[in-house]
Amino acid sequence: MALKATIFKADLSVADIDRGVYRDHSLTIARHPSETDERMMVRLLAFALQADERLEFGRGLSAEDEPDLLRRDLTGSLEQWIEVGLPDEREVRKACGRAREVIVYAYGGRAATLWWDKVGPALSRQPALAVWEIPQEASEALAALTARTMALQFTVQDGHVLATDGARTVAIEPAKLK
């Protein structure tokens, strides 16, 4: 018998001063049995950083040809393809051909550095691609905020992110790789 996804509920309040986006989101997140709390919370961070009324979670790890997050325009065309982790170079290039904008949020400390050293030269020629690295300490601290029901606030200003659950605060400074 296959293991089922674990369902998490998140009330997300986003104040993105850089983009002028102030919005509350009630999200239902399905965490695949092989997904870690850290990866799920980086997906939530990616949602907060790209918050938009049309942004939605993809089927994630259970669907190979679908992004972690996606945004379509009013005609249904893919505007934004967002991946979390260390995706395969070929998959990122394919995504760049399918969406107007592709964003990768890499995390994992040394593994992310090694991944970028390997795929960076080839991917640097993709004009629609942006790659950000989430520091390992920050992604691990985000994982500590995980609960089945969460109320989180994300404040983005000058490229810095503060995430809080009301009791604990995590400071995140994504580093732009491309």
Residue 17's domain spans which residues?
Answer: 6-159+172-176
Domains identified in the chain, total number: 1
> Can you give the pLDDT at residue 1?
52
Domain CATH number, residue 129: 3.10.640.10
> Can you give the pLDDT at residue 60?
59
> Can you give the pLDDT at residue 10?
94
Q: Is residue 130 part of a domain?
A: yes
Which of helix, strand or coil describes residue 110?
helix
> Can you give the pLDDT at residue 32?
85
Residue 100 has pLDDT above 80, yes or no: yes
Q: Is residue 83 part of a domain?
A: yes
Q: Is residue 164 part of a domain?
A: no
Give the pTM.
0.91
For 101-147, what is each residue's pLDDT tens digit?
Answer: 999 999 999 999 999 999 999 999 999 999 999 999 999 999 999 99
For 13-32, what is each residue's pLDDT tens digit?
Answer: 999 999 999 999 999 998 88
Percent of the chain with pLDDT over 90: 78
Q: Is residue 1 part of a domain?
A: no
Q: Is residue 165 part of a domain?
A: no
For 58-99, what is each residue's pLDDT tens digit?
Answer: 875 555 678 999 999 988 888 999 999 999 999 999 999 999
Q: Is residue 49 part of a domain?
A: yes
Q: Is residue 29 part of a domain?
A: yes
Secondary structure (DSSP) of the chain: -PPPPEEEEEEEEEEETTTTEEEEEEEEEEEPTT--HHHHHHHHHHHHHT--TTEEE--GGG-TTS-SEEEE-TTS-EEEEEEES---HHHHHHHHHHSSEEEEEEESTHHHHHHHHHHHHHHTT-TTEEEEEE-HHHHHHHHTT--SEEEEEEEEETTEEEEE-SS-EEEE-PEE--
> Can you give the pLDDT at residue 2?
62
